[in-house]
Amino acid sequence: MIHWNSFADFLAMGGYGFYVWGSFGVTALIMTIEPIMVARNRRITIARLRRQLRAETRNTAE
Amino acid sequence: MKDRFNLYRFASPAAFYPLAGSLIPWFVAVSVVFGLAGLWLGMLVAPTDFQQGEGYRIIFIHVPASWMSMFIYLVMAFWAAIGLAFNTRLSGMMAQALAPTGALMAFLSLWTGALWGKPMWGAWWVWDARLTSELILLFLYIGYMALTAAIDDQRRADKAGGLLLLVGVVNIPIIYFSVKWWNTLHQGSSVNLTKSSMAETMLWGMLLMAMCFWMYSIAIALMRVRTIMLERERHTDWVKAELEGAAK
């Protein structure tokens, strides 16, 4: 069922290893970093909006 | 009639925000399942290509990324049209949430294409119709993001961005049909609705990866649109409640 004879075979990709893993590697990197960046941006935005909201309520209370 | 389920209700950010939040984990889970199945089929089971050896396996991300780069643009153009016609708030937010992912998909399409072109054609890049029109697509995404970011008034930014999206949509059929209309170095499509030139396991591996990319794009766009909603609707009561409430 599995096409490859060995793990080394799999890594070599019949001589195309650099091209195949260069494609999959960068894709995996982007699909890991993008969600991290989005989540980070969300945390920062929520913290900033909370600060602004607190400042506004303080101002209206005075 | 009052309790009738109404889909249009979700055009309101206050209703869409919690819905999106509860959908995200499902899209992530489905994306991971499709991705693992697609990688297993494509990278472990599918046979060697008789012409391109093992190098063809780049197809399992090249084609899904290229499809998504075009599809996301069409979805953004759809939202732009809705926004310009009906002046709905949600449409600008959707387009803004999709743009970075679309740009990344266009980049991945070009990147994996270069890594595929080098061993097969002997060149990382050629000024061929397919490649050039995909590069223009990347520039359209970047142009949309730069344009909307440069305009302070959010409604004007959405309108200008929407117009750019609608004008640029002409590029999508050009990309899609470029391999038919012109003599290009890029190979013709391997899959169409009636027949496929690929082995069955290759085809299924590719379709599963396409589903994985699709679900990933939806999940990440929903994550992004939720933050955009908080930002843009910060003066409304529901966002204030959200900020003071559970998310503490």
Domains of chain B: 20-241 (1.20.120)
| CB nearest to A38's CB, from B62, B220, B240 | B220
Q: What is the pTM of this model?
A: 0.92
* Cα B168 from chain centre: 15
Residue A49, pLDDT above cutoff 90? yes
pLDDT tens for chain B, residues 1 to 248: 455 666 677 778 889 999 999 999 999 999 999 999 999 999 999 988 888 889 999 999 999 999 999 999 999 999 999 999 998 889 999 999 999 999 999 999 999 999 999 999 999 999 999 999 999 999 999 999 999 999 999 999 999 999 999 999 999 999 999 988 888 788 877 766 566 667 788 999 999 999 999 999 999 999 999 999 999 999 999 999 999 875 44
Looking up tokens 């506004």 gives A56
Number of other CB atoms surrounding residue B55 within 10 Å: 24
Determine the distance in angstroms separating the CA of A49 from the nearest CA of chain B, rounded to an integer.
7
Query: Could you tell me the two tokens for A10?
Result: 């799999």
CB nearest to A3's CB, from B47, B65, B230: B47
The yes-or-no verdict on residue A47 having pLDDT over 50 is yes
Question: How many helices (H) and strands (E) would you count in chain A?
Answer: 2, 0
Query: Do A13 and B54 lie within an 8 Å CB cutoff?
Result: yes
B44, B54, B61 member nearest A27 (Cβ):
B61
* B240/A53 Cβ within 8 A: yes
Q: What is the pLDDT of residue B196?
A: 66
